[in-house]
Amino acid sequence: MVSVLVYTKPYCPFCRWAKELLKSKGVPFKEIDVERDLELEMKMRRESGRDTVPQVFIDGRPHGGFEDLADLERQGKLDEVLGLAPIGGGSADAGATEEVVILGSGPAGLTAAIYAARANLNPLVIDGLQPGGQLTITTDVENFPGFPEGVLGPDMMDLFRRQASRFGTRIVSGEVVRADLKARPIVLSMGDGTARRCRALIIATGASAKWIGIPGEAPAPAGYGGRGVSACATCDGAFFRNQAVAVVGGGDTAMEEANFLTKFVSKLILIHRRDKFRASKIMQDRVLKNPKVEVRWNTAVTEVVGDGKVMTGLKLKSTVNGAEEVLPCQGLFVAIGHQPNTAAFRGQIDMDEHGYIRTMPGCTKTSAPGVFAAGDVADRVYRQAVTAAGTGCMAALDAERYLEEHQHV
C-alpha cells in the first residue's frame, strides 16, 4: 500500500473533494493542516513547488491537488498511481439499467436526489467535475431559507449530501464525457471508459468559472496559476496575508471574493471593465465601505506578469482611453462569471446561444424524451442556490411522472 499525505486547510472545498476521492478508493491517508503552521506551509510550498492547497504526496512524490487527481481518475489511471488492483474493466458496461441518474451534486442535483430517493427511484448521483457545486467555493451563504445566521457554502452542501444519502441516494465520483440521449435506455459514456445506462436522466451539471484568457493566467508552469492566480478565495486567500491582491469582476461573486480576502490582505484592488457593478446593492456596499478596497473602474487586465517563479503584477488597460500601466500585486482572483457545463450534450438537446439547456414552459422537460434539466445548467437569469434547489425538486417530480407513464421504455 502506498503512503499518502494530504496538505490541507479547514475551509478549502478542494481539500474536501481530494479527501473524499481518496476515501472512495478506500485509501488511508495522513492529513496535515497547514492553516496555522507557517513552517509546515513553507515546507509544503518548497516540496510541491505550488502555493495552493490541497497538495497530495504519494510515496513522497507530489501529485498536485484535487484537479490532478480528478484528471487521473477520468483517465482511469488513479488506481494504478495509488497502487490499487484494477477494478474490473468493463463491469460498468454490463451493469443494470438505473431508473434515474442525476448528473451533478450541487443544490439542484442533491435536491433532485432527495425527492427521487423518497419516491423509491433508487437514484444514482454522479458527482461531476465539481462535487458539491459552486457553493463549495463560496464563503457565507446568507440568503438560503432556514439558516438565519448564515452558513458556510461547503457546510451547507455537506448537509444536502447527508440528507440525500439518508434516503438511499448512491453518490459516485466521475464525469460524463458523451451521452446518447436518443438511445433507450439512455447511455452515458464516462471519462474512465465505462458506461452507465438509465431510463430517465436529470442534468444538473451547473456552470464553471470563466477565465479571462490572458497571457500568464494558465496553470503553472505555463503561467502563474497556483503561483498567484486563483479562482477561489476560500481556498487560497490565506496564502496572501499582508500582501496586495486584485479581484476581477463586478457581480456578487466578485464582491464575495473581495470581502473575504480583506480578512487577510493589506490591500485589495477591485478591477472592473465598466463604470458600475452588476452585484446586489448590499454586496456592493460591504465592499465599497471597506477601507482596504480600491476600485479601478473602466479597466481591463491584459496580462499576468512575474519573475518566472511567482506573480509580481498585472498589466492593465483603460477601456476608455487605452492607457496602459503595470499594477504591482502578488495575487489575482478571477470572478467574471460562469459558463454552463453542457459540452457532453451538444447536438442532442436544444440549447440557447450560450449553451444553456432550454426547458419547456413550467417544467424541467427538455427536447429529449426522459431528459430533464435543473439548476444553473438551464438558468442564465437567476442562478441562485434556492432556485436551483427548486428546479431540482421539479426535475425529480417530472422524472417520476415520466417513468410512471413509460414503464416499458
- Per-residue pLDDT of 346-367, as tens digits, reads 999 999 998 999 999 999 999 9
The verdict on residue 117 lying in a domain is: yes
* Domain span including residue 308: 229-334
- Do residue 205 and residue 111 come from a single domain? yes
- Do residue 346 and residue 284 come from a single domain? no
- Do residue 273 and residue 241 come from a single domain? yes
Residues of the chain with pLDDT under 50: 86-94
Domain end (from 81, 115, 137)? 81
C-alpha cell at 83: 497502487
- Do residue 352 and residue 319 come from a single domain? no
- Do residue 123 and residue 42 come from a single domain? no
Number of domains in the chain: 3
- Do residue 121 and residue 58 come from a single domain? no
pLDDT of residue 1: 64
Answer whether 135's CB lies under 8 Å from 158's CB: no
By C-alpha distance, which of 320, 315, 258 is closest to 290?
258
The verdict on residue 361 lying in a domain is: yes
Between β-strands 195-203 and 207-209, what pairing exists: parallel, antiparallel or unpaired? unpaired
Domain end (from 289, 310, 334)? 334
Residue partners of 162: CB distance under 8 A and separation at least 6: none
pLDDT of residue 88: 35
Task: In whole angstroms, give the CA distance from residue 23 to residue 104.
Answer: 19
pLDDT of residue 21: 83
The sheet carrying 229-230 orders its strands as: 229-230, 331-334, 244-248, 267-271, 293-296
- Do residue 354 and residue 372 come from a single domain? yes
Look at residue 6 and give its three-state secondary structure.
strand
pLDDT of residue 93: 39
Task: In whole angstroms, give the CA distance from residue 402 to residue 391.
Answer: 16
pLDDT of residue 86: 46
- Per-residue pLDDT of 286-313, as tens digits, reads 999 999 999 999 999 999 999 998 999 9
The verdict on residue 220 lying in a domain is: no
The verdict on residue 156 lying in a domain is: yes
In DSSP notation, 56-89 reads: EEETTEE--SHHHHHHHHHTT-HHHHTTPPPP-T
- Do residue 106 and residue 167 come from a single domain? yes
The verdict on residue 13 lying in a domain is: yes
- Do residue 359 and residue 399 come from a single domain? yes
- Per-residue pLDDT of 366-375, as tens digits, reads 999 999 999 9
Look at residue 121 and give its three-state secondary structure.
coil
Residue partners of 253: CB distance under 8 A and separation at least 6: 335, 337
Catalytic positions are: 232, 235-236
CATH number at residue 122: 3.50.50.60
Calculate the alpha carbon distances from 20 to 48, 125, 379 in Å: 21, 15, 29
pLDDT of residue 145: 95
The verdict on residue 88 lying in a domain is: no
Domain end (from 310, 334, 358)? 334
Distance in Å from the first CA to the final CA of the chain: 45
Does the bond joining 221 to the residue before it have cis omega, within 30 degrees of 0? Answer: yes
pLDDT of residue 221: 77
- Per-residue pLDDT of 375-393, as tens digits, reads 999 998 888 899 999 999 9
Answer whether 68's CB lies under 8 Å from 62's CB: no
Does the bond joining 148 to the residue before it have cis omega, within 30 degrees of 0? Answer: no
pLDDT of residue 85: 57
CATH number at residue 16: 3.40.30.10
